[in-house]
């Protein structure tokens, strides 16, 4: 991959990461999940919010794994 392609991919992954963080925070109603971890998501009472939070948390994990591989 060319350097420009890698930088573009890193930028796009950063945007996806921020979107995922924002959506999980929105579903939880707070940012405490970042320090508590996925247990905070499972404690949500509303099944729709829990499902949305878990979906975006999974997306966040994939993005972070990809970013780690790219360096």
pLDDT digits (tens, 9 = 90+) for 40-66: 898 899 999 999 999 999 999 999 999
State the number of CA atoms in the 13 A half-sphere of 38 facing the CB: 10
pLDDT at residue number 26 = 96
| Cα–Cα dist 29/6, whole Å | 34
What value does the mean pLDDT of the chain take?
A: 93
Label residue 37 by pLDDT band (50, 70, 90). Answer: confident
């Amino acid at each position: 991959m060319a350097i420009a392609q890698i930088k573009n991919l890193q930028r796009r992954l950063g945007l996806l990461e921020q979107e995922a963080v924002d959506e999980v925070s929105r579903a939880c109603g707070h940012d405490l999940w970042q320090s508590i971890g996925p247990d905070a998501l499972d404690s949500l009472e509303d099944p729709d919010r829990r499902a949305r939070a878990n979906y975006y948390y999974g997306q966040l994990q994939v993005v972070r794994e990809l970013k780690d591989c790219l360096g």
